[in-house]
């Protein structure tokens, strides 16, 4: 092999190795910062990881909001139409947070099935629903309608009973 070709080959191999190393290091560094979105149905089915930062969202269930009288602790249920999830949050909720409105929470799921939120986001106008929440709710409604129309109750998701918040 001519020295020029050998040198070019070594340069190409070096670039490929360095590029692979950079991609590997970036993937490793970013794996902790990825926030995956899950619906209450997916959480109830066990698809969501525990003790890892994720996002969950749905509509805040009417009459489910409870606030502690002596702290900023609050809890509420979110639903996607076929399952509910209890969320605990310690902090100031957004001004637009309300029952029967869309909300997305970022935090982690505990072993007991309760979601501990670090941040809660609410819709910003009357017509807006986060795309992930809207898609998930539509899928849940379609799935429920299909199960009811065929009479098949095996594929129907059941509402998960979560423990009541105690303050």
Digit-by-digit pLDDT tens for the chain (167 residues) are 788 899 999 999 999 999 999 999 988 887 766 768 888 988 888 888 888 889 998 889 999 999 998 999 999 999 988 889 999 999 999 888 888 888 999 999 988 889 999 999 986 655 666 677 778 778 877 877 787 777 644 443 433 444 455 44
Res 151: pLDDT: 60
Record the tokens describing residue 32, joined without a space: 């902790």
The number of C-alpha atoms within 13 Å of 150 and in the hemisphere containing its C-beta is 10
Record the tokens describing residue 98, joined without a space: 């309300």
Res 80: pLDDT: 87
What CA–CA distance (Å, rounded) separates 58 from 2? 65
- All structural domains of the chain with their residue ranges: 1-33, 36-150
Closest CA to 87 of 121, 50, 56: 56
Res 125: pLDDT: 57
User: From 2.40.50.140, 3.30.1300.30, 3.40.367.20, 3.40.50.300, which CATH number describes the 36-150 domain?
Assistant: 2.40.50.140
Res 159: pLDDT: 39
Res 95: pLDDT: 86
- Output DSSP code: residue 46: T
pTM of the predicted protein model: 0.61
With contact defined as beta carbons under 8 Å apart, do 104 and 55 qualify? yes
Q: Between the CA of residue 39 and those of 85, 105, 130, what are the distances in Å? A: 9, 11, 12
145-154 burial, b at 16+ Cβ within 10 Å, e below that, comes to eebeeeeeee
Work out whether the CA dihedral 68, 72, 73, 78 comes out positive or negative.
positive
Q: What radius of gyration, in Å, describes the C-alpha atoms of the chain? A: 23
Record the tokens describing residue 38, joined without a space: 């899950």
SS3 164: coil
């Amino acid at each position: 092999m001519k020295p020029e070709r050998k040198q070019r080959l070594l340069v190409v191999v070096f670039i490929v190795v360095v590029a692979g190393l950079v991609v590997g290091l970036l993937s490793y560094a970013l794996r902790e910062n990825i926030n995956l979105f899950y619906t209450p149905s997916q959480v109830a089915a066990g698809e969501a990881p525990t003790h890892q930062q994720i996002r969950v969202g749905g509509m805040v269930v009417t009459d489910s909001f409870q606030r502690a009288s002596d702290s900023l602790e609050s809890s509420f249920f979110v639903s996607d139409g076929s399952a509910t999830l209890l969320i605990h949050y310690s902090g100031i909720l957004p001004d637009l947070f309300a029952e029967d409105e869309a909300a997305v929470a970022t935090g982690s799921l505990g072993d007991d099935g309760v979601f501990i939120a670090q941040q809660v986001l609410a819709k910003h106008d009357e017509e807006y629903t986060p795309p992930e929440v809207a898609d998930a709710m539509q899928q849940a409604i379609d799935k429920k309608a299909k199960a009811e129309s065929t009479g098949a109750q095996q594929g129907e998701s059941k509402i998960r009973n979560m423990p009541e918040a105690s303050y």
